[in-house]
């Protein structure tokens, strides 16, 4: 019995593979979820055909940092600082999430990512209010059909108000062990990762123990928020991890705008990675995104979307903000008008594809289009009013495209979006459930006096 075959016809291919390069018009043959061949014309019949004439064909995007659970709180963080985010989202809104809410946020959020061409996601999931929350958050990602790493959050969200700092039982460790054993058996699209308690706010030894715990349960990635720009208290967590002999390629450092050059060197030497999240970093006072500095130090560097409670979950916006904020940042320092621009659109497209794959430890299977790789593929139309004419396909994607231009998205060869619509999703019904969940959580938030929490957060975050 032969495996299911699909051929994508006549696309303008940006393979992001050095040997294959860009192809003006090419066919891609897929079999058993993998790319079998990429050529100008492939003589194959009796298989599913996807027409991509005039469309741009790229690898799926990789989002290396998102808190997917926040999907039904879209726009609450519109004008927030990081201080507001910590005291409101992390300390109040989160406490009103039921396991069902965690499922809905993760299911709808992963679908939003897929619709936007993000085929792999690293979910930093600090909504572990109970073991049921963990199961339901994983189920949401699974049912959406996205590839990725579910990073189990150890952060103890308050689950009652008035807020009390109690001694946190260690149930999350046992629960993460349970998930590793029962739900992540090495098959399927999802791997287990770990999101330690906030490493910038816990004793070094706690962080070290949590990193060792992640390794014990086989975490694919250990995701840590570090070096948060104006909020950086100078604890140099990355330096300490290095000195403790714990730097390794499973570490994924998020934000990191105020990492020192030495720390970036340690990250590079250890094979660890960076996820820059340009939009939140710029808004929340976390500093100029570290991506280009990290690239100069040969760090595996990627982009993350971070909080969809703030803005849309698509990679086009993050690529654009990364590119133009960095250009602005560098131009500010010039003393003479530039003849050329240093940071190119293709550089950010690499961050969102090959860079993300490397940061996720999946560079051998995703991130570029080449024979043998997984068929995670995005096909973007160029016939909309905002895309015509797409003279430079890279510029078209990075600076002009929006999610509605994406015609087709494949994950392991399976269409999850086709003709501009998510496949097999009853959106009106899902939207209704999301709104109901959202209204309940917002009402919970509004019932709490935030004064005590803000005082605690101010002492933690604003006193240095």
The four Cα atoms 348, 229, 127, 138 give a dihedral, to 10 degrees, of 20
Segment interacting with Zn ion (CB under 5 A) among 106-114, 164-172, 306-314, 376-384: 306-314
User: What CA–CA distance (Å, rounded) separates 28 from 9?
Assistant: 7
Segment interacting with Zn ion (CB under 5 A) among 35-43, 126-134, 186-194, 302-310: 302-310
Question: What's the min distance (Å) between Cβ of 255 and Zn ion?
Answer: 7
Question: What's the min distance (Å) between Cβ of 420 and Zn ion?
Answer: 30
Question: What's the min distance (Å) between Cβ of 138 and Zn ion?
Answer: 19
Residue (58 or 91) nearer to Zn ion, CB = 91
Residue (233 or 400) nearer to Zn ion, CB = 233
Residue (112 or 306) nearer to Zn ion, CB = 306
User: What CA–CA distance (Å, rounded) separates 432 from 175?
Assistant: 31
The distance from CA 79 to its chain's CA centroid, rounded to whole angstroms, is 22
Q: Which of 25, 28, 1, 20 is nearest to 378 (CA)?
A: 28
Question: What's the min distance (Å) between Cβ of 111 and Zn ion?
Answer: 20
Question: What's the min distance (Å) between Cβ of 200 and Zn ion?
Answer: 12
Segment interacting with Zn ion (CB under 5 A) among 96-104, 304-312, 330-338, 339-347: 304-312
Residue (279 or 306) nearer to Zn ion, CB = 306
Segment interacting with Zn ion (CB under 5 A) among 29-37, 216-224, 300-308, 311-319: 300-308
Interaction mask 52-91, Zn ion, x per CB under 5 A: ----------------------------------------
| CA within 13 Å, CB half, 166 | 12
Indicate the SS3 state at residue 56: strand
Contact assessment for residue 240 and residue 211, using Cβ atoms and an 8 Å cutoff: no
Indicate the SS3 state at residue 48: strand
**Nearest to Zn ion by Cβ — which residue?**
306
Structure tokens at 320: 């654009």
Size of the site for Zn ion (CB under 5 A): 1
Between β-strands 5-14 and 22-31, what pairing exists: parallel, antiparallel or unpaired?
antiparallel
Residue (252 or 398) nearer to Zn ion, CB = 252
Structure tokens at 282: 């710029």
Residue (50 or 290) nearer to Zn ion, CB = 290
Contacts for 446 with CB less than 8 Å, ≥ 6 apart? none
Binding-site ranges for Zn ion (CB under 5 A): 306
């Amino acid at each position: 019995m032969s495996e299911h075959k699909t051929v994508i016809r006549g696309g303008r291919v940006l393979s992001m593979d050095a040997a294959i390069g860009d192809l003006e018009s090419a066919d891609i043959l897929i079999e058993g979820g993998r790319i079998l061949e990429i050529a100008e014309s492939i003589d194959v019949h009796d298989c599913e055909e996807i027409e991509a004439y005039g469309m741009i064909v790229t690898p799926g995007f990789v989002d290396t940092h998102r808190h997917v659970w926040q999907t039904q709180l879209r726009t609450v963080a519109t004008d927030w600082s990081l201080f507001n985010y910590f005291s409101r989202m992390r300390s109040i809104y989160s406490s009103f999430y039921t396991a069902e809410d965690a499922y809905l946020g993760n299911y709808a959020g992963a679908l939003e990512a897929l619709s936007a061409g993000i085929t792999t996601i690293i979910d930093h999931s600090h909504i572990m209010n109970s073991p049921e929350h963990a199961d339901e958050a994983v189920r949401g990602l699974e049912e959406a059909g996205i590839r990725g790493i579910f990073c189990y959050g150890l952060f103890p969200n308050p689950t009652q108000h008035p807020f009390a700092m109690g001694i946190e039982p260690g149930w999350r460790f046992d629960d993460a062990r349970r998930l590793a054993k029962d739900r992540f058996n090495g098959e399927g699209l999802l791997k287990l990762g770990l999101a330690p308690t906030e490493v910038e706010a816990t004793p070094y030894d706690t962080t070290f123990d949590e990193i060792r715990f992640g390794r014990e349960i086989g975490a694919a990635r250990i995701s840590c928020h570090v070096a948060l720009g104006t909020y950086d208290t100078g604890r140099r967590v990355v330096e300490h991890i290095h000195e403790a002999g714990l730097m390794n390629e499973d570490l994924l450092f998020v934000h990191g705008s105020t990492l020192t050059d030495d720390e970036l060197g340690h990250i590079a030497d250890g094979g660890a990675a960076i996820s820059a999240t340009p939009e939140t970093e710029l808004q929340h006072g976390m500093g100029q995104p570290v991506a280009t500095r990290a690239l100069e130090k040969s760090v595996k560097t990627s982009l993350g979307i971070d909080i969809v409670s703030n803005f849309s979950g698509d990679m086009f916006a993050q690529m654009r903000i990364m590119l133009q904020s960095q250009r602005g940042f560098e131009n500010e320092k010039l003393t003479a008008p530039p003849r050329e621009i240093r940071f190119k659109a293709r550089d950010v497209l690499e961050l969102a594809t090959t860079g993300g794959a490397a940061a996720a430890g999946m560079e051998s299977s995703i991130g570029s289009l080449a024979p043998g790789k997984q068929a995670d593929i995005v096909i973007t139309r160029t016939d909309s009013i905002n895309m015509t004419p797409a003279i430079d396909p890279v510029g078209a994607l990075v600076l002009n495209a929006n999610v509605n231009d994406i015609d087709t998205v494949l994950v392991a060869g399976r269409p999850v979006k086709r003709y501009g619509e998510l496949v097999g999703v009853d959106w009106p019904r899902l939207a209704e459930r999301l709104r109901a969940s959202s209204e309940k959580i917002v009402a919970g938030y509004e019932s709490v006096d935030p004064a005590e929490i803000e005082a605690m957060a101010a002492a933690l975050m604003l006193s240095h």
